[in-house]
Amino acid sequence: MENTTPTTTPTLAQQAAARDAGTARRSGDFVHNTQEMDRDFSNVSARWIENGTTPIQEVAEATAQLAEECTDIQAMPSAMTFDHEGGKLRVPDFDEPIGFTERGLDMIATWLKVARGTVHDLWFAGDEESREIFARLLNRGLARHASDRTSPFLLRLRGAECRAVFSDRFQAVDNDWVVETLGKLMPGSRVSHLRADGDSISGMILIPDSIREEQDSDYGGGVHFANSEVGESKIQIQPAVFRAICQNGCIWGEAKGGELIRRFHTGNLKLDELATAMDALIRASIPLTTRCIDVMLRSKEIRLTSKIDALRVVASARLRLTQAERRAWVEGWLEEGRDETAFGLIQGLTRSARHEKSGSGAQLERMAGDLCGWSGTKWHRAEAAASDFEREELNKVLTPELVTTALS
């Protein structure tokens, strides 16, 4: 008869005592035993430090260089005209016509009550006549908007290209300020899993041993950060705990806890107060707590009913993901070995996040951290809520090939 006695994962203190007694090994020992660990980051492979991380000072210098290319201008809608022939916006007192990134054009069209689908159909996928129609719609919107608007638009430019459009209440929190501030608060740190496209940035800052309070641990500490200069995300700072990072950059047992900073870029945001809040959060996050680690480890004890139930949870509407993100999650789960526990499913999500762009990858990492805190009851409720997903519906969301592979 199968032994159904539940297993309990020892606390961090119990694991340390077992190691000291020589009766247990560290769960991250496969990394420690097969790779040289970095001198200043004792839980990180030296090869990953060299090939997968960047000193935070270098990230700050790179973002500062990008910032030199950017300017902000303000202009009243009534003073603007859109020329369909070049897709350029003419603004008084600006020397040359202003082009648009796709996001920038979407944003100004939204302000002018032109549907996003119309932008794609008429401008990006349309012919010359369609583009003329779109230009007339945009110019009518500018004229109409001018009649009931007494404040200007804020245009965020890189060179002569508009990458975002905001109201004049928007207060910029630029990537170079965020990274420079984090570098001052965590000197000597390095950035792993950096995602940056010039407009948005995110990554995990690894805290060196020299400013960690806990020296004898399988775990390292850091913070996830994200920011967008074009409105893709709020500024976010979130503490994190990770196990030994191997060469391929896998974060073992990522968990997050403590207070979060999630601030909108609005006129009431004061940068000095934000920097003080960031400092307080980082100081509180550096001591690695057993509570945060134990929450992550408990997810190993939560067994999912079956592989198909795991797929149903991924495909369900309970989790707000695109179909592409759901498929990437299952692919990550397959790469991680299809472990039928909550921990295994979360590792698949964390793995998939490595391949996503800045905003989406950070979102997936935050979701993984949230899922670490789900109780067994919550996981089984999620399974029950998705139990009516038939194979045909799973195939539509995840593709037949992916479902077949996952269930084989």
List pLDDT tens digits, range 111-151.
988 888 889 899 988 899 999 999 999 999 888 875 556 78
Who has greater pLDDT, 224 or 73? 73
Task: Round the average pLDDT of the chain to a whole number and report it.
Answer: 81
Please state, for a pLDDT cut of 70, what percent of the chain lies above it.
77
Q: Is the pLDDT of residue 369 over 80?
A: no
What is the pLDDT, as a whole number, of residue 261?
76
> Across the strands, what pairs with 70?
158
Residue 97 predicted with pLDDT over 80? yes
The pLDDT of residue 30 is above 60: no
Does pLDDT of 4 surpass 50? no
Residue 345: closest CA among 311, 394, 375 = 311
pLDDT at 76 over 50: yes
364 φ, ψ to 5°? -65, -40
**281 vs 2: which has the higher pLDDT:** 281
| Cα–Cα dist 168/163, whole Å | 16
- Give me the pLDDT at residue 250, please: 47
Averaged pLDDT, 267-276:
85
Q: Give me the pLDDT at residue 243, please.
A: 63
The angle subtended at Cα 196 by Cα 285 and Cα 91, nearest 5°, is 120
Distance, in Å, from the CA atom of 373 to the CA atom of 243, rounded to the nearest integer, reads 17
- Can you give the pLDDT at residue 289? 47
CB atoms within 10 A of CB 86: 10
Query: What pLDDT shows up at residue 211?
Result: 57
pLDDT at 3: 43
Q: Is the dihedral of CA 241, 44, 347, 3 positive or negative?
A: negative
The interaxial angle of helices 56-67 and 175-185, nearest 10 deg, is 160
Residue 292's pLDDT is what?
A: 61
Q: Please say whether the beta carbons of 185 and 278 come within 8 A.
A: yes
The two three-digit tokens of residue 390, written as one number: 């038939």
Tokens 């073992």 — which residue? Answer: 252
- The token duo for 222 is 């850091």
pLDDT at 175 exceeding the cut of 50: yes
Average pLDDT of 104-117? 90
The β-bridge partners of 100 are 162
Inter-CA distances, 337 with 191, 294, 309, Å: 27, 23, 16
Lowest mean pLDDT among 19-23, 257-261, 337-341, 393-397: 19-23
Q: In degrees to the nearest 10, what's the CA dihedral of 161, 164, 170, 174? A: -70
pLDDT band at 1 (very low <50, low <70, confident <90, very high): very low
Residue ranges of alpha helices (H) inside 230-375 are 271-285, 290-298, 307-315, 323-335, 342-353, 358-372
Give the residue-averaged pLDDT of 257-275. 76
| Cα–Cα dist 127/125, whole Å | 7
* Helical H segments across 21-96, by residue range: 29-34, 46-52, 56-67
Whether the pLDDT of residue 105 is over 50: the answer is: yes
| pLDDT in the model for residue 227 | 93
pLDDT score, position 36: 75
Contacts 24+ apart (CB under 8 A), 26-32: 26/218, 27/218, 27/243, 27/252, 28/218, 28/243, 28/244, 28/252, 30/246, 31/244, 31/245, 31/246, 32/244
* 341-366 confidence digits (pLDDT tens): 998 898 888 888 776 655 577 678 77
The pTM (predicted TM-score) of the whole model is: 0.74
